[in-house]
Amino acid sequence: MVEKNFAVVGNPVSHSFSPVSFSKYLDDKNGFWYSRILLNDIGDLDSLVKGFDLKGINVTAPFKQDILEMVDDKVEEVNLLNVANTIIFEKKRSIAYNTDVFGVFSPLKKRKVSLDKTVLVLGGGGAARAVVLALKKMGFSNIYIANRTVDKIRHIVLNHDVKAIEFDKIDVVDYDIIINTIPVWIDIFNSLNINTGSIVFDANYKTRPLENIAKKYNCEYIDGFEWLIEQGKKSYELMTGFKDGEIEITEEDIAQIRFKSKRVALVGPMGSWKSSVGKYLAELLNYKFCDIDNLIEQKAGMSITEIFKTEGEDYFRKLETIALSDTIQEDNIVVATGGGIIKRDDNIDILRKNSWNILLYASPEECQSRISIAKRPLLKGKNVLKVLTDLFEERKNRYFKVSDLIINTEKSSSLKIAKRLYEDYSKTFAV
């Protein structure tokens, strides 16, 4: 079976619903898996792409422009917008796409909006540029754009032949369609002149700044989720080749993520710092910490090395499953698992259903520099680098399959890694 791995990258990134929507369809296609990657900077990404043989990534803030440093080719939309949100890796080349244009285009096309309508675009960032490009491609000609800093939108006006309007003059025009890319409420929204029954479209699906304005003027309101879903459909098609994926996110999906988030499990190869990062992360979260290997040793009354020597690996793996099943039922806990936890399908099922699983990545070379051979029964008397390399190649897709979040641990200390994970976790789950 050919396995293909995909991910969304960003910082923060745990909030992303892309793995939820994609996985409903990718999991059904044998060997297709989708995760999240938390980046400190764009330099963290290259080794992850190679290590897990990623076939495609979605890119979110703040890396939509930085990602262009590492791509080989760019489609027209990316050249025009100078930002990308989808990268496809094929035949040793990378191609950058921007599907945000489809996030705007598709919802308006569904509503069969007349092209003679007057449109106002609010904001001047990458999302606003995507909106203007989509509108121009559709054939709208009466387009205004407003931003707090007019200089920031001057290039949009020049490149796309739209009209700039200052905030203090925003009320001199009546608008049939307003598309807002500003994520927070600002007082200028009170000055908008909106024709009753028009369309109000918020790009941000979390804050929905113009939702009440839409209700006030009895307008049709387009939620930012629709943008998210429509651009996701196009990205899904580009990544997988599968068309017509019914991407959706339900309340049950959100509830499942919140259920899992109270049990954090760290997975990854030996030497990826699961135990040290786990201890720090548990302290930051004020959660209990449990090391599965230590728990097995306590209950068995002997070391892991002794268990392997006297009882064999199969016996150890059975103890591992029992320890994991017992531990993962407890809320507010961080669990450090063993490097081979993912060898058994039962363990993968337990982890995927019950915990927020963070995959700590380090190359075999880096792992070799961190580990003590005396404490590793699988490594004694062997070519350590070869064993670590072979183990990672054998296990990498199973690690990826179980992960909710991935972080590269190669260029930092275990404490700094824990702090980055804490910041990302707290922004999503409000600890």
- The CATH number given to whatever domain includes residue 29 is 3.40.50.10860
Looking at the structure, tell me whether residues 83 and 130 fall in a common domain.
no
Q: Does the pLDDT value for residue 229 go beyond 90?
A: no
Looking at the structure, tell me whether residues 137 and 192 fall in a common domain.
yes
Please give the full DSSP string across 145-191, using - where no structure is assigned: EE-SSGGGGHHHHHHHT-EE--GGGGGGS-EEEEEE---S--GGGGG
3-state secondary structure of 335: strand
Q: Does the pLDDT value for residue 189 go beyond 80?
A: yes
pLDDT on residue 262: 95
Looking at the structure, tell me whether residues 305 and 421 fall in a common domain.
yes
Tell whether 165 is covered by a domain. Answer: yes
Across-strand partners of 177? 119, 199
Q: Does the pLDDT value for residue 344 go beyond 90?
A: yes
Regarding pTM above 0.85, the answer is: yes
Greater pLDDT, 192 or 94:
94
Mean pLDDT for 180-207 is 88
List the alpha helices (DSSP H) in 262-363: 274-285, 292-300, 304-310, 313-327, 345-354
Q: Does the pLDDT value for residue 244 go beyond 70?
A: no
The residue out of 228, 246, 273 marking a domain boundary is 228
Q: Is 94 exposed, middle or buried (0-12, 13-18, 19+ CB in 10 A)?
A: buried
Cα separation, 245 vs 33, in Å, equals 15
Q: What does the block give as tokens for 226?
A: 């629709």
Across-strand partners of 34? 6
Mean pLDDT for 119-127 is 91
Of the candidates 228, 227, 194, 189, the residue with the CA atom closest to the CA atom of residue 210: 189
3-state secondary structure of 43: helix
Q: Which H helix or E strand runs over 15? A: none
Q: How far is CA 265 from CA 18, 165, 260, 324, 352, in A?
A: 21, 51, 10, 10, 10
pLDDT on residue 91: 83
Looking at the structure, tell me whether residues 214 and 275 fall in a common domain.
no
Tell whether 63 is covered by a domain. Answer: yes
Q: For 93-108, how does the pLDDT look when each residue is reduced to its tens digit (9 = 90+)?
A: 999 999 999 999 999 9
Mean pLDDT for 63-83 is 93
Tell whether 237 is covered by a domain. Answer: no
Percent of the chain with pLDDT over 70: 96
Looking at the structure, tell me whether residues 88 and 106 fall in a common domain.
no
The residue out of 57, 92, 127 marking a domain boundary is 92
pLDDT on residue 379: 75
Tell whether 30 is covered by a domain. Answer: yes
The residue out of 34, 59, 92 marking a domain boundary is 92
| Confidence category of residue 207, pLDDT binned at 50, 70, 90 | confident
Looking at the structure, tell me whether residues 343 and 362 fall in a common domain.
yes
Looking at the structure, tell me whether residues 265 and 369 fall in a common domain.
yes
Looking at the structure, tell me whether residues 140 and 288 fall in a common domain.
no
Tell whether 294 is covered by a domain. Answer: yes
Q: For 124-136, how does the pLDDT look when each residue is reduced to its tens digit (9 = 90+)?
A: 888 899 999 999 9
3-state secondary structure of 202: strand
- How many structural domains are present in the chain? 3
Tell whether 246 is covered by a domain. Answer: no
Looking at the structure, tell me whether residues 146 and 262 fall in a common domain.
no
Q: Does the pLDDT value for residue 431 go beyond 70?
A: no
Mean pLDDT for 150-176 is 86
3-state secondary structure of 7: strand
Looking at the structure, tell me whether residues 203 and 332 fall in a common domain.
no
pLDDT on residue 375: 67
Percent of the chain with pLDDT over 90: 66
Pairing label, strands 86-90, 93-97: antiparallel
Residue type, 155: H
Cα separation, 272 vs 242, in Å, equals 35
Q: For 40-62, how does the pLDDT look when each residue is reduced to its tens digit (9 = 90+)?
A: 999 999 999 999 999 999 999 89
Mean pLDDT for 341-369 is 96
Give the range of the structural domain holding residue 353, as residue numbers without chain letter: 255-429
Residue 136, Cα to own-chain centre: how many angstroms?
A: 30
Q: Is 248 exposed, middle or buried (0-12, 13-18, 19+ CB in 10 A)?
A: middle
| Confidence category of residue 176, pLDDT binned at 50, 70, 90 | very high
Looking at the structure, tell me whether residues 10 and 52 fall in a common domain.
yes
Mean pLDDT for 323-349 is 96
Supply the mean pLDDT for the chain: 91
pLDDT on residue 255: 87
Cα separation, 407 vs 36, in Å, equals 9
CATH of the domain at 382: 3.40.50.300
pLDDT on residue 245: 58
Tell whether 240 is covered by a domain. Answer: no
Among 99-113, 147-161, 227-241, 307-321, where is mean pLDDT lowest? 147-161
Q: Does the pLDDT value for residue 181 go beyond 90?
A: yes
Tell whether 297 is covered by a domain. Answer: yes
Mean pLDDT for 327-338 is 95
Looking at the structure, tell me whether residues 122 and 149 fall in a common domain.
yes
List the beta strands (DSSP E) in 203-245: 220-222
| Confidence category of residue 355, pLDDT binned at 50, 70, 90 | very high
Q: What does the block give as tokens for 218?
A: 């009895």
CATH of the domain at 125: 3.40.50.720
Q: Does the pLDDT value for residue 247 go beyond 70?
A: no
Q: Does the pLDDT value for residue 30 go beyond 70?
A: no
pLDDT on residue 8: 97
